[in-house]
Amino acid sequence: MKFDILTLFPAMFDGPFSESIIKRAVQDGLLDIRLHDIREYAVDRHRTADDYPYGGGAGMVMKVEPLAACIDKVKAERPAARVVLTTPRGRPFDQALAGELSHEDGLIIICGRYEGVDERVRELFAVDEVSLGDFVLTGGELAAMVIVDAVARLVPGVLGSEESAAADSFSDGLLEYPQYTRPAEFRGAKVPEVLLSGNHREIARWRRHQSLQRTLAARPDLLASARLSEEDIKYLAELTEGRRN
Ligand code: JAH
């Protein structure tokens, strides 16, 4: 899968893509991550990438010309790629969208800066706006890294056979059950007996119940679209019994 990232701060990406799973996937040729410095597409003497907003107001706006030149260049190299702009006003990014994007041939991710990018970028290019949540960053770079990470791990072969994406949180729309490893007791805190029992049916049942409990407690909104069995629904009914809501 090909990722092309358009940014004024390419050096921000040095760390996250040079470690662990993403690094290995790039080395193995499964991922091709390219960084494009938007400033290199500014043609004026000072390589200006921002300017004052028409109509006045606080802060600066990312100029359209350097960004458009950069998009033109990258689109010519990647005609099939989908163009994404990270912004708080975009479509909420979730596991379903990560899965959808992982089937694309390539992604061109535009990282905004300042108060935002000149609106004409959205007008002139087919741009999908994506948001990581209702908060404001100093720029889209960190959001782009999150998107690359979440999408890349869904590309076949990126996770080893040890780590499979299938059994993760959200694969069935529930939060993950608690995990433990050795020692069986630490500072008086014990690993639940059932996990040491070797009874795999009981272990699976306990884990499912834990997932349901946690989801009900922390993210009850997820239960509406989770894939639940008759037994799950019975268990949830038991959990909520005695409550009035
Ligand atoms: C901030 C351009 N939803 C996360 C997110 C994504 C992008 C930005 N902020 C938050 C952002 C400033 C300029 C983009």
- pLDDT (tens digit per residue) in 66-84: 999 999 999 999 999 999 9
pLDDT value, residue 46: 98
pLDDT-derived band at 204 (thresholds 50, 70, 90) equals very high
pLDDT value, residue 57: 97
Q: What is the C-alpha separation between 149 and 28, in angstroms, rounded?
A: 16
Ligand 1 lined by 133 (C-beta under 6 Å): yes
pLDDT higher than threshold 60 for residue 225:
yes
The predicted model gives 29-58 an average pLDDT of: 98
pLDDT-derived band at 169 (thresholds 50, 70, 90) equals low
Q: Rounded to the nearest 5°, which phi and psi values hold at 6?
A: -100, 115
Ligand 1 lined by 173 (C-beta under 6 Å): no
Query: By alpha-carbon position, which residue is closest to atom 4 of ligand 1?
Result: 132
pLDDT value, residue 201: 98
Top mutation candidate among 136, 141, 146, 148 for ligand 1, by most atoms within 8 Å of CB: 136
The predicted model gives 230-243 an average pLDDT of: 94
How many CA atoms does the CB half-sphere of 210 hold within 13 Å? 14
Ligand 1 centroid vs 133 CA: distance in angstroms?
9
Q: What is the C-alpha separation between 172 and 44, in angstroms, rounded?
A: 52
Active site amino acids: 88, 115, 153, 168
The predicted model gives 3-28 an average pLDDT of: 95
The predicted model gives 219-234 an average pLDDT of: 98
Ligand 1 centroid vs 21 CA: distance in angstroms?
25
Ligand 1 lined by 137 (C-beta under 6 Å): yes
pLDDT value, residue 170: 77
pLDDT-derived band at 171 (thresholds 50, 70, 90) equals confident
Q: What is the pTM of this model?
A: 0.94
pLDDT-derived band at 244 (thresholds 50, 70, 90) equals low
Ligand 1 lined by 86 (C-beta under 6 Å): yes
Ligand 1 centroid vs 138 CA: distance in angstroms?
7
Q: What's the chain's average pLDDT? A: 95
C-beta contacts of 43-50 below 8 A and 24+ residues apart: 43/69, 49/8, 49/113, 50/113, 50/114
The one-letter amino acid code at 219 reads R
The pLDDT tens digits for 80-101 are 999 999 999 999 999 999 999 9
The pLDDT tens digits for 122-166 are 999 999 999 999 999 999 999 999 999 999 999 999 998 777 766
Ligand 1 lined by 143 (C-beta under 6 Å): yes
Contact 36, 10 (CB under 8 A): yes
pLDDT higher than threshold 90 for residue 243:
no
Q: What is the C-alpha separation between 111 and 141, in angstroms, rounded?
A: 5
Nearest one of 211, 121, 129 to 170, comparing CA atoms = 211
> Where does 153-199 have alpha helices with state H?
193-196
* Nearest atom within ligand 1 for CA of residue 117: 2
